[in-house]
Amino acid sequence: MALLCLNVRAEDKVKKTVYVQNAFIIDMLSDKAPQKGNVLIEDGRIKEIQFKDDASFPENAEVIDATGKYLMPGLTDAHVHVTTGKYESFDARKKYSEELLKKMLMGGITTVRDVGGHGELLKVLKEESSMQQIHSPSIYYSAFFAGPSYYKEMGTTEFSPCTQSVDSSTNVEEAMTKAKAAGATGVKLYASIEINLLHKLAKEAKKQGLGVWGHATVMPAKPIDAVNAGMEVMSHAEMLKWEQCPSLSTNMFDNYDKYYGKFKFDFPELDVLFAKMKEKNIILDATCYHGTVNGLKEAAIFTKKAHEMGVKVSAGTDYLGDQKLPYIHDELETLVKECDFTEYEALRSATIIAAETFKKQNDIGTIEEGKRADMLLLNSNPLEKISNTKDIHIIIKEGVVYKK
Ligand SMILES: [Zn+2]
């Protein structure tokens, strides 16, 4: 058996023909009880799914006996920052990122959406991951946009295609072309961007095939303004509280002075907002665990309500630091325990809906023939208990098998 462990030889990192035999398959296409079946993987893709007793597979296949185990799609963390932190050199930063990515992969995460980091490094890591040169989830990342006043407050002036300063004089078409050429999948519209410019940026991003991502509030835009401007994925549920303010200033600190501590967690504008988000198929990247551990209980309150009203919620962690396993499992538990998601609904948030945040729902997120072979083989059923996502036996990423 050529199962890979943490320290592997480079020649082992090849996409083999793999046959997962006799697993309970949680395909994530419906919440029906998982059926027993076999999955054939070739060239990193799911070639065939068999729901029958007589197993048939090519002679060269590596057979994994999955009797009594549960096969589900690999998890996607839809909100990470894998390159941030203070590092003296590009290489030191790269080393840190690679360790983090390996940890994520071994914790069951086969894809990440990075929403703000070192663009140049993310490009390298994305390429190396897709070539199987590093042990890493597949990576999709953003180019970051903010107004000049944001950078002034932060004391930074060095701009790159993945970190751009934008104002009314910006050539929006050129800005997006640069972001795209830098390998970004989406743009993160972050702060200090006037509402009419937000509209222009979102429109051009979509025209060039880039996703439009951002925080739920991009001051001075309130959540509803971001929705109307064309935002497609809105991060941090707790930021939805700004919707109840009559108006917001471009300066974040002014808004905090004026409104902080006076927020209600149930207000009529929220219903209007969620109805609109549902209508426009906008995904709430709730980062619910991150919010609640930081004392922002409204993160769970708003996420629960959004879910009840039919808004799609993706699972993301806003990765905080080291821990034995990635935080995605905590996010899933928070969705179930604090926000009334069923186990199946929580798993959707970390698979097919998370994939939709970067428009890869046709490629990953379910177990279907033709899809990328990103899967987890679990020892116990996550539909019975959500924390069973931690009970990992094997991780398969693009057909490469990693044993825990
Ligand atoms: Zn973040």
The pLDDT tens digits for 167-184 are 999 999 999 999 999 999
Q: How far is the CA of 215 from the centre of ligand 1 (A)?
A: 9
Q: Are 142 and 214 in contact (CB under 8 A)?
A: no
Q: Output the average pLDDT for the chain.
A: 93
d(CA 341, CA 337): 8
**pLDDT-wise least confident of 108-117, 122-131, 248-257:** 248-257
Shared domain for 22 and 170, answered yes or no, is no
118 lies in which domain range? 75-356
CA distance 238 to 133: 38
Whether residue 324 is found in the same domain as residue 339: yes
DSSP 8-state code for residue 262: -
Average pLDDT over residues 133-148: 96
Alpha helices in 192-349 (DSSP H): 195-207, 223-229, 252-259, 268-279, 288-293, 298-308, 328-339, 343-349
Kindly give the distance from the C-alpha atom of residue 237 to the centroid of ligand 1, in angstroms, as a whole number: 12
105 and 171 share a domain? yes
How large is the angle between the packed helices 298-308 and 328-339, nearest 10 degrees? Answer: 70
Domain membership of residue 209 (yes or no) is yes
Instruction: Tell me which residue has tokens 């940890």.
Output: 103
User: In this structure, is residue 2 part of a structural domain?
Assistant: no
Confidence of residue 56 (pLDDT cuts 50, 70, 90): confident
Residues 279 and 347 reside in one and the same domain: yes
Sequence-distant (≥ 6) Cβ neighbours of residue 95 within 8 angstroms:
none
Residue 1 domain-assigned (yes or no): no
Q: CA nearest 239: which of 193, 294, 302?
A: 302
Residue 375: inside a domain:
yes
Co-location of 67 and 215 in the same domain: no
Ligand 1 mean position to 350 CA, how many Å?
Answer: 16
Which of 53-62, 76-85, 174-183, 379-388 shows the lowest mean pLDDT across its residues?
53-62
Tokens coding 388:
């069973």
One domain, residues 138 and 196: yes
Domain check: are 194 and 329 in the same one? Answer: yes
| CATH number, domain with residue 172 | 3.20.20.140
Asked if the structure places residue 111 within a domain, the reply is: yes
Q: Could you report the per-residue pLDDT of 211-242, keeping only the tens digit for each?
A: 999 999 999 999 999 999 999 999 999 999 99
Q: Quick one: pLDDT band at residue 10, thresholds 50, 70, 90?
A: very low
- d(CA 320, ligand 1 centre) in Å: 9
Which residues have their alpha-adjacent CB atom under 5 A from ion ligand 1?
A: 318
- In the predicted model, is pLDDT for residue 322 greater than 80? no
Q: Helix, strand, or coil here: 280?
A: coil
In this prediction, residue 279 has a pLDDT band, given cuts at 50, 70 and 90, of: very high
| pLDDT attached to residue 13 | 58
pLDDT of residue 14: 63
| Domain match, 99 and 241 both | yes
Q: Can you tell me the mean pLDDT for 380-394?
A: 98
Q: For position 8, what pLDDT does the model report?
A: 45
Is the pLDDT confidence value at 261 over 80? Answer: yes
Percentage above 90 pLDDT, the chain: 87
Residue 191 resides in a domain: yes
**DSSP secondary structure code for residue 84 in this structure:** -
Count of structural domains within the chain? 2
pLDDT digits (tens, 9 = 90+) for 131-140: 999 999 999 9
Q: Is residue 129 part of a domain?
A: yes
What is the Å distance from ligand 1's center to 99 Cα? 19
319 belongs to a structural domain: yes
Ligand 1 centroid vs 362 CA: distance in angstroms?
Answer: 25
If you measure from the C-alpha of residue 313 to the centroid of ligand 1, how many angstroms do you get, rounded to a whole number? 16
